[in-house]
Structure 1
Amino acid sequence: MTGYRSPALGTDPPCSPVNLSRTGAATATGGGLANTGYIGTVTMEQRTPQEPALWPHQVGVIPPAARSFQHRAQADRLRTKVDGGGTAVLTQMLTGMGGVGKTQLAADYARTAWDDDSAAGGLDVLVWVTASSRQAIVTGYAQAGVELCRGDPNDQEKAALSFLAWLTPKAGTKPCRWLIVLDDVADPADLRGLWPPAGAHGRTLVTTRRRDAALAADSRHTIEIGLFTAAEALAYLTASLAGHGRYDSADELTALANDLGYLPLALSQAAAYIIDTADAVATYRALLADRTTALAAIAPDVLPDDQALPLAAAWSLSVDRADTLRPAGLARPMLQLTSLLNANGIPETVLTSEPARAHLTVHRTRTGPNPAEEAAPVSLRDTVHALRALHRLSLIDHTPDTPHHAVRVHQLIQRATRDTPHPPPPRADCPRGR
């Protein structure tokens, strides 16, 4: 039989495995161990807190620098110590659509800060956390708590909170100069109660696709990360291909960069594909222009720079999450509608018109318990909120303060959306699920 030693009363789930043989079922509380019958063997594994690591100390792994990494103006803004009003910048957020290079900019900043051995700029502690879920954040903090402040290795929640408490400045103690990077925050709610404390010696850097108001609270400094400039895109392609003995003309590379909309992720995967296949740039551009060729078909077999997803899938999780935001089920069909229109500016009135609302009503993603309610006609208000949901996930730019309340969407998001088949609407005479 395999059981668990019960934790002390009021704590979270059991903390250590207990292997029992030749015993029956029993229940223990308050840290006790219970059994029925004869115990032949008891094996217990109980980790004890370790001694705190000496400074300087790093927790987590900084992603490696991308090949042909381009220095960008946003990198200089990241190093700003005070904002325009003279207030110290303690928390910074890099926001933008998937594929613009937020993680690479954060990694470059972290490496530079870590390598700075000056008294004014050096770090004592650097913590890199892949923050794609609340559990991932807790796990990263818990590791830091165990390594730095004798956090309980048997209780992640407790160790994580111990770490946050340890970061809080305390009178009479040696100041700790720390940097915490929370990379790829997927939901602002995941950070509830887990924001690092404010302090003169600590800084927090967040990367996220989200643009929710909740993230910008408490004087957090937001830096919008956009596309490469034309010059940056040309420099990137030139350096990437030249590193493999390819010396294509500047005109061809400029045209390719324009076709890819200056998106860093697209440029890196296109360069890898061209290098792997030895295709001419013109051949790749022809494949890209062929609407019968899916983006997945022109992705490299092995992605460069430790990238996790091919271009075609780069936004799929964002679309899924946007579709769960209120009004649920409208973000996906709204994005499908925008993928058929002019990427450089769609008047809001077109997307909120009666034909558009009829499209959304028919093609709404219906996953709730009451399909009849979800089949109700979509209102004007709901269409605007669907646009805002896509904007919050950086899938479109919806700017109500511009003429015609213009909506813009990147051409490759349009292409990926058109490549993704969507299920036909449910038949009116057939209940959903049959």
Structure 2
Amino acid sequence: MTGPHQVGVLPRQADCFQDRAIAQQLEHTVDGEGTVVLSQVLAGLGGVGKTQLAAHHARTQWQAGKLDLLVWVTAATRDAVVTGYAQAAVEVLGSDPADPELAARAFLAWLEPKPGTAHRWLVVLDDLADPADLRGLWPPASTHGRTLVTTRRRDAALTGHGRQLVPVGLFTEDEATSYLITALAAHDRNEPAAQLAGLADDLGCLPLALSQAAAYLLDVGLDCATYRHRLTDRAHTLTDALPDPSGLPDDQATTAAAAWSLSIDCADQLPPTGLARPMLQLVAMLDPNGIPATVLTSPPALNHLGRHRTAAPGQTQAGEVAPSDAAQALRALHRLSLIDHNPNRPHHTVRVHQLLQRAVRDSLSADQHGQLVRTAADALIAAWPQVERDTTLAQALRANTEALTLHAEDALHQPDAHPVLFRTGKSLGEAGQVTAALHHFQHLADTTQHHLGPDHPDTLATRHIAAYWRGESGDAIGAAAAFERLLPDRERVLGPDHPDTLNTRNTLAGWRGLAGDAVGAATAYESVLEQMLPVLGPDHPYILNARHNQAHFRGESGDAVGAAAAYEQLLPDRERVLGPDHPLTLGTQATLAHWRGKAGDPVGAATACESVLEQMLLVLGPHHPYTLATRAALAHWRGVTGDSVGAATACESVLEQMLLVLGPDHPYTLDTREVLAVLRGEAGDAVGAATAYEQLLPDMERVLGPDHPDTLRTRKALASWRVEGKSRSVDQSTD
């Protein structure tokens, strides 16, 4: 060979090419551990720009005079690789083109390093479809030559033997926005930077989608804001928002949506055959930023895979699908770079690009879409623990429900409101995000009424729950008013003796009591229980709840001994019906401890709080509202028994967590602030107690109202500690 020589045609550089950081990595011939890199494999999802990066590197090396031979081969099949090598042999060695296999072997032999020769070469194998196609065809290891492969595959066969896997990801946000600005400016188009940054985010910073979106904007003449609306409009598919094949930029052959179809077909052929496609369809319904493994291996997910398994030609569908099969289907999708599958992140095991999800959803019929939505919702419910001890898992499940609802709210209300809609709101409340839970159920009440009508049982149930969280957020008066409006609707639709109607009457009595009428609530519960017992029986959860509430308001009415006795009678029934570790059972234990202390046994109350707190930490976790409330109660009773300083320190600690977890307006937070004020005063800091009450009073007035009993008690305590503070100041000055 005389002089530098190029075989094959490099793809032209894309307009507005982004010189990404990963391009610098291709210049390195030694990896981070000091190992010589002989081959680099650019792997990633179709559309991330692997070919452009490879072409840029090859062109840069060639133009810098660092190569004697540059070979570019489109490696979609084994035959294509052989043909490319054979062409190189013909041009470089003068081989006979009649026998491509022989010529290809001659070329590989010529690449072998030999004494006295130092040809500098680069072989680029672009778009390798199957690692098996390179068996016996990998260019040899040489200190004078390098191999660069682009592929969507991430198989182990592509690494080792001096080969380095180089993951190619998306543009950064800055790169994506910069690309759009440059691409549009080249055609004298200027758009607001915020709109372009939003479009980059809408397209998930995928280079191929960004280039095609820019071409569409220019060809159709849309402004960015209108295009973004079209992109998110569920009436349009992804194909509707991208150029037709005749308008593709940069010599591209396919749209972003079509670019992934071959990869999906290939993944579906990998073991376990026929499961990759239905698994990807399920993944397309959930959160692109992370799906827990337990969701995708749950019984509803496995049933879906079994029903929709793609049968191989000449074969019938196999039998049941095991969790291990589902995991292997995820690995198949990972090998084709269609998803990122990381078993070491159990709560965010699977990540997927949002546009790929959109393309998969667009390919479904209306019936298929609706079925998949309900299946995904069933899978989330199956993976959701009854007691949320793992806050990270709970957050992931809520995020997946939110993603599912975002593009499938209609299906989640057909034929009824799916339980996952209720479960995610309950999860928010249990995590202490009371305001978020209230907003969730207020929105759910509106959407359920829209889809199912005002008298549907699910609509009435959602109104009930929304009213409950309104009260939990601090608006007891508003909650009572909401239940008053709901009760006649439930009586009319369901009947006066329906369990849900009785439960609304039960809950209404409770919120009337919390709004300030403790005596009236205690009396009302006697009537409620008389009506509920014959209908529901003594062990029904609604009966147990009513007994709990009746005991509470008995104590609030001034009968602490009677309240403690009522809770002592209730506790064994809770344990028998619900189990000793149920949150409501634990809550009853904590409340019993409280009323024992109020009845005159503060030492017993502190001991009981310590015991139930240990159980709560094990069962509910440290951030559950019941756990936090019990920690505050324990601090209170320790203060009552004499350790005011230690109790105040403990109370300050739990208050910090309550503010983070529950928020400043949660009733538990307000109660704990009051406890802390008392403890400071009893520890000798009357001025500090008065200051704490001064800060608490306006919040009590705002959240509970100026005439609520708790507000009146706070106002009275503030006056008392102000007097106490002045008295102690006088005593100290006299001394």
- TM-score computed with the length of structure 1 as normaliser: 0.82
1:164-313 correspondence to structure 2 within 5 Å:
164-172=108-116, 174-301=117-244, 302-313=247-258
Secondary structure at 1:193's aligned position in 2?
coil
Change in CA separation of 1:273 and 1:423 when aligned onto 2, cut-off 3 Å: closer
Number of residue-to-residue matches in the alignment? 366
Residue number among 32, 37, 42 corresponding to 1:84 in the alignment = 32
In structure 1, the residue matched to 2:538 is: none
Residue 27 of structure 1 aligns with which residue? Answer: none
Query: How much does 1:170 deviate?
Result: 1.4
Measure the CA separation in 2 of the matches of 1:370 and 1:170. Answer: 51
After TM superposition, give the deviation of residue 343 of structure 1 in Å: 1.1
Conserved in 2, the CA contact under 8 Å of 1:351 and 1:383? yes
Question: Over aligned residues, Cα RMSD in angstroms?
Answer: 1.4
Q: Is the 8 A contact 2:293 2:346 kept in 1?
A: no
- Cα 1:145–1:422 change in 2 (3 A) is farther
Q: Which residue of 2 aligns with 1:13?
A: none
What is the aligned counterpart of 1:412 among 355, 376, 383?
355
* Residue 341 (structure 1) aligns with: 286
Q: Structure 2: which 5+ runs fail to align?
A: 369-735
The yes-or-no answer on 1:63 pairing with 2:14 is no
Judge conservation of contact 2:263–2:338 (CA < 8 Å) in 1: yes
- The reply on whether 1:153 has 2:108 as its aligned counterpart is no
> Counterparts of 1:375 and 1:195 in 2: how far apart (Å)?
37
**Distance apart, 1:329 and its partner CA:** 0.3
Give per-residue Cα distances to partners, 1:308-362, cap 9 Å, x unaligned.
Answer: 1111101000000000000000000000001111111110110000000000000
2:306 is aligned to 361
Helix, strand or coil at the partner of 1:203 = strand
The structure with the greater share of residues assigned to helix is 2
Which letter does structure 2 place at the counterpart of 1:310? T
Structure 1: distance between partners of 2:285 and 2:154:
25
Aligned 8 A contact 1:142 1:160 in 2: yes
Distance 1:422 1:333, change over 3 A: farther
TM-score normalised to structure 2 length: 0.49
| Cα displacement (A) at 1:422 | 6.8
Question: SS where residue 280 of structure 2 aligns?
Answer: helix
Deviation at 1:421, TM superposition (A): 3.1
CA distance in 2, matches of 1:137, 1:219: 21
Cα offset for 1:402? 1.5
Give, as a single letter, the amino acid of the residue that structure 2 aligns with 1:116: A
After superposition, the C-alpha distances for 1:53-104 in whole angstroms (9 at most, x for unaligned) are 5320000001111100001110001101211222221111111100000000
Q: Is the 2:4–2:67 Cα contact (8 Å) retained in structure 1? A: yes
**What amino acid is aligned across from residue 205 of structure 1 in structure 2?**
L
Q: Distance in 2 between matches of 1:423 and 1:214?
A: 40
Following TM superposition, by how much is the alpha carbon of 1:366 offset from its aligned partner in structure 2, in angstroms? 1.2
Counterpart CA distance in 2 for 1:370 and 1:249 is 56
Note the alpha carbon deviations across 1:9-58, whole angstroms, 9 max, x for none: xxxxxxxxxxxxxxxxxxxxxxxxxxxxxxxxxxxxxxxxxxxx532000
Identity %: 61
SS of the residue corresponding to residue 323 of structure 1 reads helix
State which of 288, 305, 317 in structure 1 corresponds to 2:262.
317
Change (3 A) 1:104 1:159: same
Deviation at 1:375, TM superposition (A): 3.8
Higher relative strand content: 1
Q: Distance in 1 between matches of 2:97 and 2:87?
A: 8
Residue 286 (structure 1) shift: 0.9
Q: In the aligned structure 2, how far is the partner of 1:95 from the partner of 1:114?
A: 23
Q: Which residue matches 2:330? A: 387
Secondary structure at the counterpart of residue 147 of structure 2: strand
Taking the aligned partners of 2:343 and 2:318, their CA distance within structure 1 comes to 28
Paired AA for residue 305 in structure 1: D
Distance in 1 separating the partners of 2:304 and 2:99: 50
Please show how residues 41-120 of structure 1 align to structure 2 within 5 Å. 54-117=2-65
> Does structure 1 retain, via aligned residues, the 8 Å contact 2:159–2:165?
yes
3-state SS of 2:269 partner? coil
Return the alpha-carbon distance in structure 1 between the equivalents of residues 101 and 218 of structure 2: 46
1:132 to 76, 79, 83: 76
AA partner of residue 406 (structure 1)? T
What SS does the corresponding residue of 1:404 show, helix, strand or coil? coil
Report the CA distance between 1:380 and its aligned residue: 1.0
**1:423 deviation in Å?**
11
Query: How far apart in 2 are the matches of 1:264 and 1:338?
Result: 22
1:200-249 C-alpha deviation (Å, 9 max, x unpaired): 10010000110000111213111111000000001000000000010111
* Alpha-carbon distance in 2 for matches of 1:144, 1:78: 23
Deviation at 1:292, TM superposition (A): 1.9
Q: Partners of 1:232 and 1:84 in 2: how far apart?
A: 25
Distance 1:160 1:80 in 2: 28
SS at match of 2:236: coil
Structure-2 separation of matches of 1:144 and 1:286: 50
Q: In structure 2, what is the equivalent of residue 9 of structure 1?
A: none
Q: Is the 8 A contact 1:363 1:424 kept in 2?
A: no
Structure 2: distance between partners of 1:195 and 1:240: 38
Deviation of the 1:295 alpha carbon: 1.3
Deviation at 1:298, TM superposition (A): 1.8
Q: Residues 399 and 407 of structure 1 are in contact (CA less than 8 Å); yes or no, is this contact kept in structure 2?
A: yes
Shift of 1:420: 1.1
Letter in 1 for 2:92: L
Matched letter for residue 113 of structure 1: Q
Cα deviation per residue 1:144-164 (whole Å; 9 max; x = unaligned)? 011111222110111111100
Q: Secondary structure at the match of 1:360?
A: helix
One-letter amino acid matched to 1:342: D
CA distance 1:230–1:405, shift in 2 (3 Å): closer
SS in 1 for 2:114: coil
Unaligned regions of 5+ residues in structure 1, if any?
A: 1-52, 426-434
Residue matched to 1:44? none
Separation of aligned partners in 2, 1:229 and 1:290? 25
Which of structures 1 and 2 has the larger relative contact order (alpha carbons within 8 angstroms, sep 6+)?
1
Shift of 1:424: 8.7
Amino acid aligned to 1:159: A
1:385 maps to amino acid: Q
Q: 2:287 aligns to what SS in structure 1?
A: coil
Question: 2 CA distance for matches of 1:393 and 1:71?
Answer: 25
CA distance in 1, matches of 2:290, 2:315: 36
| CA–CA distance in structure 2, aligned partners of residues 98 and 143 of structure 1 | 27
